Amino acid sequence: MVTQKYLTAGLLTLALTGLVGCVQFPTEKQSVVDLRPQISFRFDPTDARMNEARVLVNGLDSGRLGDFMDGKGALRVLSGTHAVQVVSGAEVLLNERAYLGDGVARPFNVK
């Protein structure tokens, strides 16, 4: 009699524990959207000189041109007017000034 009472209590405890384990607690997903403007470049990727050319934004070296090829990578900047230059050695391949607003993706053509 006592064994049956403990057995019933044990089974009831297991059943309740199983039900609690099956309950999914509410979850919340948060993400941050980056709306900074993006600059990318269109150029001939087979030209080694182009890949190694340097990108200058407002006079600051931002990296290799090959790292910001349109469709493969982009340079994020703050909203506003920017002077964008691409130089290879002493040669200036691109020299443009452009206003870039939030959410804008602007490709520049480099020849």
The mean of the pLDDT values for the chain is 87
Question: Cα(105)–Cα(37) distance, rounded to whole angstroms?
Answer: 6
**Within 10 Å of residue 59's Cβ, how many Cβ atoms?**
7
**What is the per-residue pLDDT across 26-73, written as a single tens digit (0 to 9) for each?**
788 888 888 999 999 999 988 888 989 999 999 999 999 999 999 999
Q: Mean of the pLDDT values across residues 14-19? A: 64
Q: In what helix (H) or strand (E) does residue 108 lie, and over which residues does it extend?
A: strand 105-109
Q: What percent of the chain has pLDDT above 70?
A: 88
Q: Which residues pair with 98 in a beta bridge?
A: 82
Integer-rounded Cα radius of gyration of the chain? 30
Is the per-residue pLDDT at 25 higher than 80?
no
**What is the per-residue pLDDT across 65-98, written as a single tens digit (0 to 9) for each?**
999 999 999 999 999 999 999 999 999 999 999 9
Virtual torsion, Cα 11, 13, 18, 24, nearest 10 deg: 160
Cβ 38 vs Cβ 99: under 8 Å: no
- Show me where the domains of the chain are located: 38-109
Instruction: Give pTM, 2 decimals.
Output: 0.69
Structure tokens at 26: 């509410």
Fold entry, domain 38-109 = Immunoglobulin-like (2.60.40)
